[in-house]
A and B are shown apart, each in its own frame.
Chain A
């Protein structure tokens, strides 16, 4: 069974459920939510079907401190909306350093 078929089958089940919801006069937002999930699954199925070759193997190193730093920086950026510009600036700096580290990791053989 090809992988995309699983997604397509799941999308079809969601589409059926969304269609029945329309028949029951389910309202705009509920239909949009369920229909949106069905459509998004179908799109993913199509993308997967288009990717005919096997997935490329990740060349990630065993240790990636820049990844940890990037996650901390991204979380800080989000939290900065609540706690203030100071955190946004610090987090942006951390994220920049982390991205440089990730670029360095990618260049290593």
Chain B
């Protein structure tokens, strides 16, 4: 395939058929997924710029760049963007693209619904950002919209209302996608593909969809109540009203952390097996641990509320610490898959390893904040910021990049450049750790999060300057990624159907896949049908 044909393959994935109408109205799950991923990437760029402005402000004590009010809007919109508009939709977009392929289905269940979901998500994001155009500016009451901070008295203006409607619309779109994915996995698998013949990624999407289906509606209800509270009052005005709001919010707010995690665990598991040249170790234990992990993750939400003293602290501490059991099973499975394998350190594998190691830092420091006694000390400090950025950036974002590098050839038919990918990885690791590791020390020493300034007498300037330099490095790493994409599109190298030696069904079709996904399906007798074929062929040829 030459340069011209490569560009044609890419444009056919994004634009045809039907030109603009195809762009806005195609019901092909692959095109919806690509649109969702591109939209999420655009919002990520916006959220990233907000983060850079915040880090510029915090690089030294004193107010240099923005006012405190503007800073409140910055961290609110940064958090909201990353959670509602970037990581969650990107995670679900991966499922929209690959779940039907791995299930051997020609289409996703409810394709029209999936298309409507993208529109709701896009409009939700635009409405949320429209808050910047209002007189009072964008929302400034944290990504959680805590009441009474978010009520009409403390946060007047339409920006906060726009934020509420943005969250409702985006979440409704994501809820629809979750329902489509669950229906596809439970009802639309090709004949012969039992649930226990689905790859780990599909199982990860199944449990993710369960959390989406049963946690996200509560957020929509909470937002509706918050809007009514802002218009007329009387909803959260009772003495325990703010606590009730927090229960409603965090019942969504913690599971969504795992919605932003499990799809990438699934992608990393695929990469680890492929680049170790082995079947995934402990498949059944992994499936069991995913079910246990997600059920527990629905049951830990009030550990975000330890410091307000009105929750069953012992219960939520117990369930939070219990998360280490299924997490341990998953880490053990990943390590055992690599053990004895012939590991290829291609870019997707590098990001997979980065995910595993850095998420471990996030997970282990989660034991601190999951323990109510320690949480009283670090609550609302930069320790918490460091912890969740190690899980969401060091973990999920590295998993996301692992998925991008792994499946880019399948989606576009072209290969990203390995050399540039390695530079991207190195800068990402350096940037992430320079940015977020100093925050553990800042938090331990008492620096409060969500502040635009800090006293020079505390000597926090150096650590903050290091964190800001790290943020610049992260931005540079992303520029390198954009260069990789640009170079690979301008001078495409054909990927072929299966450039990595993949195990699951998506590698059994063309790159990019045709409109109905498959011309013919290979026999499926395990989660690794292509690996089965390789083994059979090796046996026929008398190879070990």
Contact = CB atoms under 8 A, between A and B. Distances in A.
Interface of B: 17-18, 21-22, 24-28, 106-107, 109-112, 115-117, 119-120, 123-124, 127, 158, 161-162, 165, 168-169, 183, 185-188, 194-196, 206-207, 210, 213-215, 218, 227, 244, 247-248, 251, 291-292, 294-296, 298-299, 302, 311-312, 314-315, 318-319, 515
A6 B187 contact: no
A62 B28 contact: yes
Contacts of A6: 186, 195, 206, 291
A81 to B, nearest CB: 8
A37 B215 contact: yes
B21 A65 contact: yes
14 contacts: A1-B196, A7-B186, A10-B210, A24-B315, A26-B312, A34-B299, A54-B187, A57-B107, A58-B107, A62-B26, A68-B24, A75-B120, A81-B227, A82-B165
Q: Which of A13, A34, A37, A51 has the most CB of B within 10 A?
A: A37
A103 interface: no
Q: Lowest 8 CB-CB distances: which A-B pairs, in order? A: A55-B187, A13-B295, A71-B119, A24-B315, A71-B116, A3-B186, A17-B299, A65-B25
A79 B116 contact: no
Contact of B247 (A29, A41, A55): A29
Contacts, number: 146
Contact of B115 (A51, A67, A82): A67
B162 A82 contact: yes
Contact of B169 (A26, A55, A68, A78): A78
Contacts of A55: 109, 183, 187-188
A90 interface: no
Contacts of A21: 299, 312, 315
Most-contacted residue by chain A among B24, B107, B207 (CB, 10 A): B24
A99 B115 CA distance: 15
Size range of the interface on A? 35 or more
A61 B294 CA distance: 35
Given A1-B194, A27-B311, A58 B119 contact: no
Contact of A78 (B25, B110, B165, B319): B165
Interface of A: 1, 3, 6-7, 9-10, 13-14, 17-18, 20-21, 24-27, 29-30, 33-34, 37, 40-41, 44, 48, 51, 54-55, 57-58, 60-65, 67-68, 70-72, 74-75, 78-79, 81-82, 102
A33 B251 contact: yes
A43 B227 CA distance: 30
A60 B312 contact: no
B161 A24 contact: no
A69 to B, nearest CB: 9
B183 A33 contact: no
Given A24-B314, A67-B25, A78-B165, A3 B195 contact: yes
Contacts of B312: 21, 24-27, 30
Given A34-B298, A65-B21, A74-B116, 18 more contacts: A1-B196, A3-B195, A10-B207, A10-B295, A20-B318, A21-B299, A27-B311, A27-B312, A33-B251, A34-B299, A37-B214, A63-B18, A63-B27, A64-B112, A72-B119, A75-B119, A75-B169, A79-B169
Contacts of B161: 82
Contacts of A64: 25, 27, 111-112, 115
